[in-house]
Structures are given as C-alpha cells and as structure tokens.
Amino acid sequence: MHLNFAFTAVQTLWTLTFAAHLVLLVVLLGRDRARRFRWFTVGIALVTLRLLASRLLFGRMPQVTLGEVFLGLALLSAIVGLLVIVELARAVFAKASPRTWAAGTVASLLLCGLVLAEWGPWPGAASVAPNSLLNFLNLLQLVAQKGGMLVDLLSIAVGLLIVLFGRRFGSGWRSHPQSVIIGLSTASIGQLSMQAIWQSIAKSAVPHTMADYERIMGLREKLLNGNSALYVGVLIWWIVCLWLDEPGTAPAAESGGGQKAQGEVAQDSDPKAES
C-alpha cells in the first residue's frame, strides 16, 4: 500500500511550528514558568496568534486590510521582543550594580545600533512620509522590520553577555533564563544569517531566463525552510529545558508535599496538639 501525503515542506514546517508553540505554552502554564517569564510567554502567544492568522486570513481579506493587520502584529512583536530581552537580562543580572547595568545597556545599544544602521537597504524619505495610506504602510513596515532586526541583534548581544558572565551572577548553564536566551540567540543568528545570504544572492544573481528566476526563488525557499527548521529545533529546546527543573530546586509539588509532611510530623509530636 502506497501512502500519498499532499503536505509540502512549507505546510509541514508550519504544522510543526504551530504544534510546538502550543506545547510550549502548555509547558509554560502547566509548569508555572509563565509567572517568572511573563513577557516571554506573551511573546510565544503572540507568535502563535500570527501563525494562526496567517493561515486563516490570507486570501480571505483585502490586501490593504491584511497588510495593516500583519504589520501591526509585527510591530507589536518587536515591542514585546524588547521587553523579553529586558526581562531575561533582569533575571540573570539582578545582582549587578547600577553602573554595570548602565555600561552593559549602553554598549549593547550602541553596538547593535551601528550594525542596524549599516544593514540596508533603507528606503527613501519620500516613500515613508506618512502623507498617504501607502506611505504609512511603508513606514509601518520599516519600523516593524528594523525593530525586529534590532531585537535579533540585541538577543545575540545579551545572549553572549549572559553566557560569558551569567555564572558570575548566579545563573548557571542549566538555568531557565540561560536556556531561554540561548534559544533566542540561536533563532536570531539563523534569522539574520538567512537575511544576509538572501541579500547577497539578490544583489549578485541577475536572472536572464525563467529557469534562472525559478532557481533563485528555489534557493530563497530553501533558506526560509532551513530557518524554519532551525526555529522548530529552538522550540523543542525550550520545551525540554523549561519542562525540567533547574539544578538545586525541588519541584513545586514535591516541595509542597514535603512541607505538608513535616507539618503533620510536627503536629503529631506536639503534646499540645493532642490535648
């Protein structure tokens, strides 16, 4: 018997990504990690919403309305992404002095800002002047795109700082903040690498025939699929790491049970309790 699955690589990766997001949300809520990583949980829920909206709304709404919805979600994701980085940095460097915090923040923003400024292309001022609906959408797209790129750059920078200096401030290799930021940095490296490779291909490759054009677009699809596969791996990493307890910490259920048992023993051994 021959089985014929009609799923393409894009559909398969979308399904795996959406399912992994749902499982990760279950882990965050079920293992009580959402209380510690509030903005990270919000970010995962927002990405899940964007995935679901992309499947349900494409082809069912006018292009302008669809653009407004997804550009708004992309801008909101960039804002939440910045809050996630601040949340993780505060969790790891809570014992750092204000001077260290200020120095690290300024250095990270300056370095990432310089990289962002040099990373083109940047559109002309006339095309993003908010004097028409199309220009307003272009401006919104620019802010969302560059904001997302800034989040990726900061994720890599903060991830490097946490990996290098996190242990000094009490955050070991298997701690949840380090696990989350390692995943974020890996996903950001994959995203920026994919963009850099595609920009290099788009600048150098000039299609002369339809076969050349199809070959170039095929390379783009492979890059996107590879980046999506990497992100699925990051989601699996988060699921496993956040499901497990940090070293040196007892599960909440066992800890509560131990406290209850100690209370019962103390009550049984207390003569006043018997009277």
CB 194 within 8 A of CB 223: yes
CB 243 within 8 A of CB 27: yes
Domain that holds residue 181: 32-94+104-246
18 domain-assigned: no
Longest dimension (CA), the chain: 96
57 domain-assigned: yes
* Residues 66/10/116/132 CA torsion (nearest 10 deg): -20
99 domain-assigned: no
Residue 246 is predicted with a pLDDT of 82
Q: What are the average pLDDT values for consecutive 10-residue runs of the chain, which has 275 residues? A: 58 93 96 93 95 86 84 93 92 82 87 88 78 82 91 92 76 80 94 90 80 84 92 96 80 43 41 38
Alpha helices in 166-206 (DSSP H): 176-204
87 domain-assigned: yes
Q: Which of 140, 146, 79, 90 is nearest to 118 (CA)?
A: 146
User: Which tokens go with 66?
Assistant: 């669809």
252 domain-assigned: no
17 domain-assigned: no
Residue 20 is predicted with a pLDDT of 96
191 domain-assigned: yes
144 domain-assigned: yes
Residue 235 is predicted with a pLDDT of 96
Residue 249 is predicted with a pLDDT of 67
How many other C-beta atoms can be found within 10 angstroms of the C-beta atom of residue 96?
A: 17
Report the number of distinct structural domains present in the chain.
1
The H-or-E segment that residue 265 falls in is helix 252-269
